[in-house]
């Protein structure tokens, strides 16, 4: 019996410098997400949207903007994911900027006693720290934070996850210092050059073997900017040369049938930059591809 899908919205853009991603969850829901999943024979429960707290009065750190508020928000996300999994449901998170991954990965890791892996589709590395970041935007830091790469205990909920069990797929924009940190930590990187050379099916099959070994439970995180802007214009930091919508759908279908993925999130959908609605529609298609088989 397939678990109930619990949809958890994260209505926040605190982690980036572009407004609009806070509207992503509601836009995806309005595009027919629930009915699309129910047509697949799935039961869907709507948790509602987690919204950012009132802005902290503490002086902002230019190297980690809004971090106090983001960590507060992340605790709410983590608790929602943890409770959802413990209730036997499948968390489907809709974002929202990608700093949401701090909370989603933390709650996921806690639910599975830290025996977890992360498959992270993104045009960027998201492995910066306050020492390496050129922007100070926390949506470029979640993987470094949850894997213990700098001295902030993310949410005091669990030990840092093993960075060698993180796979970043579709990356094509990375800062030099960030790249060095990723290599030192042993993060698995499948960049666009490798995907174009080996093909998406081979690449994802290899990622599953490396990240989900010995029965590890996997959190799947998809930043919509992993797609080429041709397919996903409506996002805060688009990067040319990305994945096609069909390749990403094929990848998510393969991950869906693998049985190792126990939660899914779609991040950085920005309706304000999506006048045609194509990016929101792509998000719904990707979710359907994951659950369809």
pLDDT tens across 193-215, in order?
A: 999 999 999 999 999 999 999 99
156 pLDDT exceeds 70?
no
104 CB-near residues (< 8 Å, 6+ apart): 77, 78, 81, 91, 93, 219, 221, 263, 265
- 223 belongs to the catalytic site: yes
Looking at residue 2, the DSSP 8-state letter turns out to be P
Is the Cα torsion angle 111, 218, 65, 270 positive or negative in sign?
negative
- 98 belongs to the catalytic site: yes
- 213 belongs to the catalytic site: no
Q: Are 212 and 258 in contact (CB under 8 A)?
A: yes
DSSP 3-state of 196: helix
- 97 belongs to the catalytic site: no
pTM of the model: 0.96
Residue 163's closest CA among 182, 138, 141, 139?
Answer: 182
d(CA 60, CA 81) in angstroms, rounded, equals 28
What is the pLDDT, as a whole number, of residue 60? Answer: 66
What is the pLDDT, as a whole number, of residue 91? Answer: 98
What is the pLDDT, as a whole number, of residue 150? Answer: 76
Q: Tell me the mean pLDDT in the region 46-67.
A: 78
- 72 belongs to the catalytic site: no
Higher pLDDT, 221 or 54: 221
The pair phi, psi for residue 153, each rounded to 5°, is -70, 105
Catalytic one of 22, 73, 122, 178: 122
Tokens representing 268 are 């950085």
Q: Are 284 and 292 in contact (CB under 8 A)?
A: no
116-130, 143-157, 160-174, 223-237: segment of lowest average pLDDT: 143-157
Q: Which CATH code fits 5-291? A: 3.40.800.10
What is the pLDDT, as a whole number, of residue 56? Answer: 53
- 219 belongs to the catalytic site: no
- Kindly state the helix (H) or strand (E) to which residue 101 belongs, with its residue range: helix 100-111
The pair phi, psi for residue 259, each rounded to 5°, is 85, -5
């Amino acid at each position: 019996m397939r678990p109930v899908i619990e949809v958890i919205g994260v209505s926040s853009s605190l982690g980036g410098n572009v407004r609009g991603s806070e509207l992503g969850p509601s836009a995806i829901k309005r595009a027919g997400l629930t009915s699309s999943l129910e047509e697949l024979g799935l039961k869907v429960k709507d948790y509602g949207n987690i919204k950012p707290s009132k802005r902290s009065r503490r002086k902002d750190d230019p190297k980690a903007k809004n971090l106090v508020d983001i960590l507060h928000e992340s605790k709410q996300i983590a608790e929602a994911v943890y409770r959802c999994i413990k209730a036997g449901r499948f968390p489907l998170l809709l974002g929202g900027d990608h700093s949401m991954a701090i909370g989603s990965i933390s709650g996921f890791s806690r639910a599975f006693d830290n025996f977890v892996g992360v498959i992270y589709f993104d045009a960027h590395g998201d492995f910066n720290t306050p020492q390496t970041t050129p922007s100070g935007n926390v949506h470029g830091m979640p993987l470094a934070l949850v894997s213990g790469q700098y001295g902030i205990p993310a949410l005091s909920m669990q030990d840092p996850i093993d960075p060698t069990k993180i796979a970043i797929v579709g990356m094509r924009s990375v800062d030099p210092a960030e790249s060095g940190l990723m290599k030192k930590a042993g993060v698995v990187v499948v960049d666009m050059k490798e995907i174009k050379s080996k093909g998406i099916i081979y690449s994802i099959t290899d990622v599953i073997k490396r990240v989900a070994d010995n029965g590890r439970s996997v959190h799947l995180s998809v930043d919509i900017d992993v797609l080429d802007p041709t397919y996903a214009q409506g996002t805060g930091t688009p990067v040319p040369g990305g994945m096609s919508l069909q390749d990403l759908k094929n990848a998510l279908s393969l991950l869906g049938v693998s049985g190792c993925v126990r939660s899914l999130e779609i991040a950085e959908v920005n309706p304000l930059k999506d006048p045609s609605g194509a990016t929101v529609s792509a998000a719904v298609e990707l979710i359907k591809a994951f659950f369809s088989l």
